Amino acid sequence: MSYSIPYIDDIAQPELAARLQYKLDNKTKPLGSLGRIESLARRIGLVLGSDAPELHEPQLVVYAGDHGLAARGVSAYPSDVTWQMVENFLAGGAAVSVLARQNGIGLTVVDCGVRHDFGPRAGLLVRKVAAGTADALQGPAMTVAQRDMALANGADLLQDLPGNALLLGEMGIGNTSAASLLMSRLTGLDIEDCTGAGTGLDAPAVLRKIGILREVLSHHADVHAPLDALAAFGGFEIATMVGSVLQAAAQRRLIVVDGFIATSAVLVASKLQPSVLQRCVFAHRSGERGHALMLAHLQAEPLLDLGLRLGEGSGAALAWPLLVSSCAVLREMASFESAGVSRQEETAALQKV
């Protein structure tokens, strides 16, 4: 399956930006007193091209896949947990299932490359490239054809998803390793700074994980381009997510980025089309080592910092009400003129009389 990277334009719109700022400055509040809710409102307004933005039919997509590298013990859990958690998502029992339900967010699980065959059911899309990636210590995790198929799958699946906001989630035992490898190679940071406990490894196991990942990087020392790194270090779910991120950006959907693995997909996408980042809201800073450094590399300021390290899209779902609130402020909060409230400068002038 062929894949062509979509062009993502710069959404800088000086006139709209000025209107958004004027509206915020003239709400019945001290200037700038809603802090980052105001900057969030400006971001959403620019993405959606409106000074009265309204988010509708948000879609949280959980991209799932297995990793060949997991057989080397880089995770505290066996690979079977990937398909078992997919079943949990579909049954409505996972954390992200609860949070999506609570917030009225549509939830779709995509089998991008899970080592298990699922029966058809509501809420599941099967876009399986293969039954898990190859061992990145022996060769590329994905062939070029597999990588391009995953990217194309990610773009295509958005055709059937309504709404103007995409929330990113993922599931895949071993995928923190893939994300760490991508981060190290694409940012130039040492793999030790990019690698954490993942699903809960103890300190000696983390050191062993770092050693394995260092070997993988050495094995692929000649790989530097973003798409080449994506194929080498893998994650069918990460590659599919990259395709969705690029397509969502091209469609001017707001992209709500979850934690470490979702951010690694955005990292790859931004290396291909930098303006992707203009469409992104970063939900939170996770407890996974390396996430703060990756966010800093992207010059991204997350909304929340709750020590989360679950993945699934749980942080994106938790941050969602803040996005809804910021839009409501723009649309519904009274201005000084409409409410008949005196401004600060008017009050000061009266006091001088």
The catalytic site residues sit at: 312
* Cα gap 217→222, rounded to integer Å: 9
311 — phi, psi (to 5°)? Answer: 80, -150
* Cα gap 240→330, rounded to integer Å: 34
* Cα gap 258→161, rounded to integer Å: 19
127 — phi, psi (to 5°)? Answer: -130, 50
> Helical H runs in 116-275?
144-156, 175-187, 191-194, 203-219, 226-233, 236-250, 260-272
To which H or E segment does residue 336 belong?
helix 336-339
- Which residue has tokens 């723009």? 330
Contact between 283 and 165 under an 8 Å Cβ cutoff? The reply is no
Tokens of 346: 């008017």
* Cα gap 266→269, rounded to integer Å: 5
Longest dimension (CA), the chain: 81
* Cα gap 250→236, rounded to integer Å: 21
User: Taking Cα atoms as reference points, which of 192, 214, 198 lies closest to residue 293?
Assistant: 192
Tokens of 267: 């990292």
- Which residue has tokens 């809804």? 324
